[in-house]
Amino acid sequence: MPPTLEEVAKLAGVSRSTVSRVINQQPNVRPEVRERVWEVIRQTGYQPHAAARSLATRRTRVIGLVIPQAVTTLFTDPYFPIFMRGVADACNAHNYHLMLSLFSHRRAQGAPTSQDALYQQILRSRYLDGVVVSSATLDDPVFHHLLEDGVPFVIAGRYPHERANYVDVDNVVGARMAVEHLLRLGHERIATITGPLNMFAAQDRLEGYRQALTARGIPIDEHLIVEGDFTEQGGQAAMKRLLPYRPTAVFAASDMMAIGALKALREDGLRVPEDIALVGFDDVPLASMVDPALTTVRQPIEQLGSMAVELLISLLENPQRETVHRVVLPTELVIRASCGVRVR
C-alpha cells in the first residue's frame, strides 16, 4: 500500500494541510518544515493519488486527443504520428497527461456502444479537463457534444463556429503557392486532386488552387478537379480519372495522394516531371525519398500538435471564456524534382 498524505503528515509531525501545501508548492510554510516534509516524501516515495486530487480540485490534468472516425487514412499517412508526437511532447512539457480516443470505423465487436455514446461517456464523466480534436469532418457530432457539455476544446484545423478555438495551417496560401509555382513554370492545364471535401483542409487547399488560377486569368475547368481521400490509393484512382483530360501538371492535396498519382502516371508510361509535373502537400518524410523527390508544401505538423495543446492549456489555466483564440501557422513551398525545376 502506497503512503497517503495522512501518513506522510504523521511521519513529518505536521498536519495534512502542511504536507499538501508542500507538494503543491504553496507559500506560507516555514523553510525548515518544508524541508523536513520533503525528506519524508522522498523516503516514503509518496505520490498524490490522482483520483482523490481530482475529486477535490475538479481538475484532472488530463487532456483528450479525439480522433473521430479513424479512417484508414490516419494509419497510412505519416501525418498522424507526427502530429501526435507534437501533442505528446507538449503534454509532457506541461505535466499534463494524454488520453487517446480513437474511434475505429468498424464497430468493435464486444461493444454495443456507439461512437456517439463513447463520446458522451468520456466527456461527461469528467475524465478530461479539455480536448484536442483532429481530423474531424465538418459535421462530426463531437463538436455538438463538446459545445453542449461546455468542455474546453481546441481543434486542429479550421472550424468556423463562433465559439471554436482552433489552430490551423494556412492551407489556402500553401496551395496557392504550389499552383503559382506551376504557373510560373509555364503550365496552364493544371489539375488538382483534392482531399475529401467534407474536411476544411481539403476545401481550403482547393480554394488556394482556384485563387491561383483565377488571379492569373485562367478559367477553372471542373474536369481538372477530382476529389480524392488523402490516401495513396485514392490519389492513384483520381489520377486515372484525370488522365483523359491531359493536364500538364497536377497539384495533389497531400503527399500520399501525389505518390499514388505518381504510380498511376508510371503505369500509363508518363514520366514525371518530363511529361507531367507534380506537386504534393505536407512534406512527410517519404516525400523526399520517392523518385522523383516531391515538390511539396511543407506544413509544420508537429508544431500544429504542440500549439493545439498549448492553446488548450492556456485556456484551461486562465479561463477567459469571452475570447476565442485562433492561430494560423504558415506553410512553405519546398521545391524538389517532381515539378520540373532543375535543383542543384
Partner DNA sequence: CTGTTAGCGCATTCAA
Partner DNA sequence: TTGAATGCGCTAACAG
Return the amino acid letter for 278: L
- Report how far Cα 254 is from the mean position of its chain's Cα atoms: 14
**Residue of 35, 39, 52, 267 interacting with DNA (CB under 7 A):** 52
Q: Which does 21 bind (CB under 5 to 8 A by kind): DNA, a second copy, none?
A: DNA
Residue 31 binds a second copy, judged by CB under 8 A: no
* Amino acid, res. 15: S
Burial zone of 7 (CB within 10 Å; 0-12 exposed, 13-18 middle, 19+ buried): middle
Residue that the C-alpha cell 489556402 belongs to: 172
Span from 9-17, 73-81, 188-196, 295-303 in contact with DNA (CB under 7 A)? 9-17
Query: Is residue 45 a contact residue for DNA (CB under 7 A)?
Result: no
Nearer to a second copy, 31 or 51 (CB): 51
Per CB under 8 A, contacts with a second copy among 118-157 are: 118, 120-122, 124-127
> In this complex, which beta carbon is closest to a second copy, that of residue 10 or of residue 103?
103
Q: Which three cell numbers stand for residue 13?
A: 509531525
Residues 119 and 324: their CA atoms lie apart, in Å, by 23
Q: Read off the DSSP letter of residue 282.
A: B
* Distance in Å, CB of 226 to DNA, minimum: 51
Q: What is the SS3 assignment for 343? A: coil
**Binding residue count for DNA, defined by CB under 7 A:** 29
Single residue of 13, 24, 26, 100 touching a second copy by CB under 8 A: 100
CB 166 within 8 A of CB 154: yes
Q: Under rule CB under 8 A, which residues in 212-231 are in contact with a second copy? A: none
Contact residue for a second copy among 74, 173, 238, 261 (CB under 8 A): 74
**Inter-residue contact 140 to 199 (CB < 8 Å):** no
102's contact among DNA, a second copy, none, with CB below 5 to 8 A by partner kind, is: a second copy
The rounded distance, in Å, linking the Cα atoms of 79 and 282 is 8
- Around Cβ 4, how many Cβ atoms within 10 Å? 16
Site residues for a second copy per CB under 8 A = 2, 45, 47-52, 54-55, 60, 62, 65, 70, 74-76, 78, 80-82, 84-85, 88-90, 92-95, 97-104, 108-111, 113, 118, 120-122, 124-127, 232, 263, 285, 289
